[in-house]
Structures are given as C-alpha cells and as structure tokens.
A and B are shown apart, each in its own frame.
Chain A
Amino acid sequence: MSNFNCTLRTIEEFSILDLSGDLDAHTASILEKKFQELIENKSFKIVVTFSNLNYISSAGLGVFMGVIEDIRSGGGDIKFSNTSDNIYQVFDMLGFPLLYEFFDDESEAIEKFKTSNVVS
C-alpha cells in the first residue's frame, strides 16, 4: 500500500507544501485538492518541497501543470525545492526547468519570491 502525504506550512505570506511518499496516478488527486484549497484562499506564493518524496510519475507532474496558470495569473508562482536526482530527472525529461524554478532548499525559493517583488 503506497502512502502519500501533503502537509501545508506557512512562512510569512508563503505556503510551503511538504510532499512525502509516492505521488502517482492514485495519489495525485490529494495534491490537486490541496492546490485547489490554496487557490480558493488566494495563497498564490507556493514552495513545494520534495525531500521526503520517494516517487513521482507523470500524473503527479500533471497536477503542477493543471494549476500553474491560475497561480501565476493570481500574481504568484510554484517553486520547487529539495528534489532528489531521481525526482528531478522526471521533471527534466519533460522540460519543467524551462518553465518552473528549482532551488536547493526552501529558503532560496522564498528569497527568490521576495527579490522578484522588489521594484527597481
């Protein structure tokens, strides 16, 4: 029996989603629901951490594709952090690094959100 967990934390105005377990075609709906809640609450600045995620398939990646336009049109973004080599390989294979930002840890992702908001 696979397990998947998606835990929400908040740091300042940023929503941090910690994923753990296996994100596959069976469990992707759990993540989708969590994103819908964030969008309804207008929490558009989201960092997803993968340090405890064991597995991801295209169904999991599909969740990020399905919500990104709503999140960006709300003035936010999804940024990814702590991807293992295996997990990053799947994102890379499908071209995600061209359209999404990846960071070594969540603090770098948050910092990027902050510096992107600075008007020069």
Chain B
Amino acid sequence: MKEKITVTSNLEDLYLVRCFIGNAACRAGFGESETWKIILAVDEACSNVIRHAYNGKTDRNFEITVEFDDNRFVVHIDDAGSGYDLRNHRAPNLQDCIAKRKAGGLGIRIIKELVDEIDYQQVDNRNKLTLTKHLPLEAANA
C-alpha cells in the first residue's frame, strides 16, 4: 500500500498531514495510542520542514508518502528546503528550554522517542527524511 499527499509550507496544512497519516495508520492496523504517536512524530517533522527547512516561507510545498505492509509503516517526507540531519541533533532538556524561553529541538526529541527508525538523505538538492514504525505483532498477524 503506497499513498502520497502534497501540502504547502503553510503551518495550516499540518492538519491535513495529521488526517492523512492518522487515516493510513489506522488502516495499517495500529491502535489508537500508536496511531497518535505516529501522527505526532510526523507532525513534528513536517513542522520542522516548514519552520526551518523553508524558514517560514509559506509558498513552497513538500511531499509525504506512506508505505505499509504487514510489518512496517514507513513515512517519507521530501522537501526542497535547507537540509538538516536530525539524527545528529542533541536534544535540549526541559530546564534549558525554560531558561531560553523556547522549545527548540524538543520536536526532534519527540520524533526520536516515537518512531523505531530514522533515515535522512540529501538527493538532488532534496531532503528525504524517512520515519519507520514497526507494526505490533498482533496487528501483523490479524
């Protein structure tokens, strides 16, 4: 199963991303709690694309592709903004964020916490972030 959505770099479109991912995760066999985690991780990643890769410019777009089978749920996020490999990011702790009065980097911490695998590549000036979540055994055997 493979599905794709193209959204604009307007933060308003995060809602469309969440609907798209939530729908696919349910059909892949995830329960409510796991679906919620996948939605949150992808929302955080897309929010980073808009705010950092595209630096808040609202007239760009990017693609989100979902592929899933009995074992894995894979989300590809493909944008043409400035690149950043979040795997190398050292997430701040909450007290640092309070001291600096901003939440920078906590989204990446959430992504790392909620998905099983993260891959990042730059290909032809495009950033390709891949987030993978393994399906629970009971869903795979259903």
Contacts and interface: CB of A to CB of B under 8 A. Distances in A.
Given A62-B103, A85-B33, A90 B47 contact: no
Interface string B126-142: 00000000000000000
Contacts of A117: none
Given A55-B18, A93-B110, A62 B98 contact: no
What range describes how many residues of B lie at the interface? Answer: 20 to 34
B67 interface: no
> What is the predominant secondary structure among interface residues of chain B facing chain A?
helix
A69 B51 contact: no
Interface string A49-67: 0000001011101100110
A85 B44 CA distance: 19
B94 A58 contact: no
Interface string B37-51: 001100110010011
Interface stretch (A8-16, A19-27, A39-47, A104-112): A19-27
A86 interface: yes
Contacts of B12: 1-2, 26
A65 B97 contact: yes
A1 B15 CA distance: 6
Interface in B50-99: 50-51, 93-95, 97-98
B107 A93 contact: no
Contact of A61 (B33, B36, B50, B106): B106
A13 B109 CA distance: 37
A58 B98 contact: no
B106 A62 contact: yes
Interface in A53-100: 55, 57-59, 61-62, 65-66, 68-69, 85-86, 89-90, 93-96, 98-99
What range describes how many residues of A lie at the interface? Answer: 20 to 34
B2 interface: no
Contacts of A62: 97, 102-103, 106
Contacts of B97: 62, 65
B99 to A, nearest CB: 8
A61 to B, nearest CB: 6
B118 interface: no
B94 A94 contact: yes
Residue among A26, A62, A65, A95 with the highest chain B CB neighbour number at 10 A: A65
10 contacts: A24-B47, A25-B47, A55-B39, A59-B103, A62-B106, A66-B103, A86-B33, A94-B94, A94-B110, A98-B94
